[in-house]
Amino acid sequence: MTADGGPQRTYKYYDLIMAGFVIVLVCANVIGVSKRSTIAGYQFGTGILFFPLSYLFGDILTEVYGYARSRRVIWAGFAGLAFAAFMSYVVVAMPAASDWDGQAHYEYAFGSTPRIAFASLIGFWAGEFANSFTLAKLKLFTSGRFLWVRTIGSTIAGEIVDTLVFYPLAFFGNWSNDQLLKVMALNYTLKVMWEVLATPLTYRIVNFLKRVENEDYYDRETKFTPFSLEA
């Protein structure tokens, strides 16, 4: 049942999109969160190659299914990311067998510090909710027109929140201030550019889902608290 007592809508692709969102989020944060790469003299965190996909999923979810259903997916992603961090910590901390020499490599690959794991969780949570809230409000403001304004505008808001939360929490004091600011600025710029380039794909997916799901949700009566799983 919905909050107003009506029957709960069922959707063909909602659960699949939720699964894709969680998979992308966990992989991007576990595999690429702490590695830095350099191209043409510019340093960037390699997680940005795939992490922006989570914002693409978030845009699609909010645009088609509404903020409340997107909120459930964000919490599912948060739980998946928290479990991945916990599992990594436990597995790395377990004593290695005396005849196994892979511990150092395993620690290097999966041994994110609790500080980085915490920063990832908080940055993701704050950024995704900022993204979803902004898109839902922009949809009302534009009366459903100009999808590109909503997807790019919400990414600008969400990514700046994520960037300002994650990098200082994870690396302040370990990286020089100059290095930290350069990585933050470049990563933020690349993430927003990624969203701009993905706009034609977003249009195609959104239009397809609205047609097959017979849904184009407007959050006119939505309670925008993030602390709920109610859809």
pLDDT, tens digit, 9 for 90 and up, residues 43-57: 666 777 788 889 999
Q: What is the pLDDT of residue 150?
A: 96
Cβ distance 226 to 129 under 8 Å?
yes
Instruction: Say whether pLDDT at 3 is over 50.
Output: no
In a domain, 140, yes or no: yes
In a domain, 157, yes or no: yes
In a domain, 226, yes or no: no
How many domains, the chain? Answer: 1
User: For residue range 66-94, what is the model confidence (pLDDT) as tens digits?
Assistant: 999 999 999 999 999 999 889 888 988 89
CA distances (Å), origin 226, targets 48, 69, 72, 107, 139? 25, 11, 9, 34, 18
Instruction: Say whether pLDDT at 42 is over 80.
Output: no
Whole-number Å distance between alpha carbons of 78 and 24: 12
In a domain, 5, yes or no: no
Q: What is the pLDDT of residue 109?
A: 73
Residue 226: both structure tokens together: 């993030």
Of 64 and 32, more confident: 64
For the whole model, what pTM was predicted? 0.89
Q: What percent of the chain has pLDDT over 70?
A: 92
For every residue of the chain, DSSP letters joined together read --TTSSPPP--SSHHHHHHHHHHHHHHHHHHSSS-EEEETTEEEEGGGGTTHHHHHHHHHHHHHH-HHHHHHHHHHHHHHHHHHHHHHHHHHHSPPPTT---HHHHHHHH---HHHHHHHHHHHHHHHHHHHHHHHHHHHHTTT--HHHHHHHHHHHHHHHHHHHHHHHHHBTTB-HHHHHHHHHHHHHHHHHHHHHTHHHHHHHHHHHHHHHT-----SS----SS----
Q: What is the pLDDT of residue 43?
A: 67
pLDDT interval class at 130 (50, 70, 90): very high
**Taking Cα atoms as reference points, which of 119, 110, 121 lies closest to residue 78?**
121
Q: How many CA atoms lie within 13 A of 46 on its CB side?
A: 10
**Cα dihedral 87, 89, 94, 95 in deg (nearest 10):** 150
pLDDT interval class at 34 (50, 70, 90): low
In a domain, 6, yes or no: no
Q: What is the pLDDT of residue 76?
A: 96
Domain residue limits at 26: 14-95+103-213
In a domain, 225, yes or no: no
Domain of residue 66, CATH code: 1.10.1760
